[in-house]
A and B are shown apart, each in its own frame.
Chain A
Amino acid sequence: MISPTCSIEKNHPQFKDLQQYIDSLKINHENPRRKDTLIMTLHRAQKIFGYLPEIVQVFIANHYSIPHADVSGVISFYNFFTTTPKGKIQVNVCLGTACYVNGADKVLQEFEQVIGVRSGQVTEDGKFSIESLRCVGACGLAPVVTINDKVFGKVKAGDVREILEKFFIEEEVAEKEAANV
Chain B
Amino acid sequence: MINLTIDGEQVSVPDGTNVLDAARKLNLDIPTLCYLNLEKIKYLNKVASCRVCVVEVEGRRNLAPACATPVFEGMKVITNSKRVLSSRRKNLELIISNHPFDCLVCGKSTDCELQKRVWEFSINTQRYTGERSEHPMDKSSCALKRDPNKCIMCRRCETMCNEVQTVGALTAYGRGFHTVVAPAEMNPIVTSSCVYCGQCVSVCPTAALTGIGYIQEAWAALFNPKKHVVVQVAPAVRVAIGEEFGMPAGQAVTGRLVAGLRKLGFNAVFDTNFGADLTIIEESKEIVERLQENPDGLPILTSCCPGWINFLEHQFPELKYVASTCKSPQQMTGAIAKTYYSQKMGIDPKNVVVISIMPCIAKKYEAALPSEETYGLRDVDIVLTTREIAKMLKEGSVNLSHIKDEEFDNPLGISSGAGAIFGGSGGVLEAALRTVYYKITGSELVDVNFTAVRGMAGIRVAEVNIGEKSIRVAAVSGLGNARQVLEKIKKNEEHFDVIEIMACPGGCVNGGGQPYAEEREEIIEKRLQGLYQIDRNSKVRKSHLNPAIQALYQEYLGEAGSHLAHEILHVEVLTPMDARMK
- Given A72-B171, A72-B185, list of 20 further CB < 8 A pairs? A54-B184, A54-B185, A57-B184, A66-B168, A67-B167, A67-B193, A68-B184, A68-B192, A69-B162, A69-B168, A69-B169, A69-B170, A69-B192, A70-B162, A70-B168, A71-B184, A72-B173, A76-B173, A77-B172, A77-B174
**Are A73 and B171 also in contact (CB < 8 A) when A67-B162, A67-B193, A68-B184 are?**
yes
B residues 168-209 near A (Cβ < 8 Å) are 168-175, 183-185, 192-193
Contacting residues, chain B, for A69 (C-beta < 8 A): 162, 168-171, 183-184, 192-193
Within the assembled complex, what's the spacing in Å between the Cα atoms of A69 and B162?
A: 10
The SS class assigned to the A binding surface is helix
22 residue pairs bridging A and B, Cβ less than 8 Å apart: A57-B184, A66-B168, A67-B168, A67-B169, A67-B193, A68-B168, A68-B185, A68-B193, A69-B162, A69-B168, A69-B171, A69-B192, A72-B171, A72-B184, A73-B171, A73-B173, A73-B184, A76-B174, A76-B175, A77-B172, A77-B174, A83-B185
Within the assembled complex, what's the spacing in Å between the Cα atoms of A83 and B170?
A: 18
Q: Which A residues form the contact surface with B (CB < 8 A)? A: 54, 57, 66-73, 76-77, 83
Give, as a whole number of angstroms, the nearest-CB distance from A42 to chain B: 14
Within the assembled complex, what's the spacing in Å between the Cα atoms of A73 and B170?
A: 9
Contacting residues, chain A, for B162 (C-beta < 8 A): 67, 69-70
The SS class assigned to the B binding surface is loop
Contacting residues, chain B, for A77 (C-beta < 8 A): 172, 174-175
Give, as a whole number of angstroms, the nearest-CB distance from B163 to chain A: 10
Within the assembled complex, what's the spacing in Å between the Cα atoms of A73 and B186?
A: 10
Within the assembled complex, what's the spacing in Å between the Cα atoms of A169 and B167?
A: 51
Give, as a whole number of angstroms, the nearest-CB distance from A45 to chain B: 15
* Residue total for B at the interface (Cβ-Cβ under 8 A): 15
Contacting residues, chain B, for A72 (C-beta < 8 A): 171, 173, 184-185
Within the assembled complex, what's the spacing in Å between the Cα atoms of A59 and B167?
A: 18
**Quick one: closest B residue to A78, CB to CB?**
B175
Within the assembled complex, what's the spacing in Å between the Cα atoms of A76 and B169?
A: 15
Within the assembled complex, what's the spacing in Å between the Cα atoms of A181 and B162?
A: 51
Give, as a whole number of angstroms, the nearest-CB distance from A55 to chain B: 11
Give, as a whole number of angstroms, the nearest-CB distance from A78 to chain B: 8
Contacting residues, chain A, for B185 (C-beta < 8 A): 54, 57, 68, 72, 83
Within the assembled complex, what's the spacing in Å between the Cα atoms of A83 and B169?
A: 19
Contacting residues, chain B, for A54 (C-beta < 8 A): 184-185
Give, as a whole number of angstroms, the nearest-CB distance from B165 to chain A: 11
**Quick one: closest B residue to A61, CB to CB?**
B184
Contacting residues, chain A, for B168 (C-beta < 8 A): 66-70
**Quick one: closest B residue to A68, CB to CB?**
B184
Contacting residues, chain B, for A71 (C-beta < 8 A): 184
Within the assembled complex, what's the spacing in Å between the Cα atoms of A77 and B184?
A: 12
Contacting residues, chain A, for B171 (C-beta < 8 A): 67, 69-70, 72-73, 76
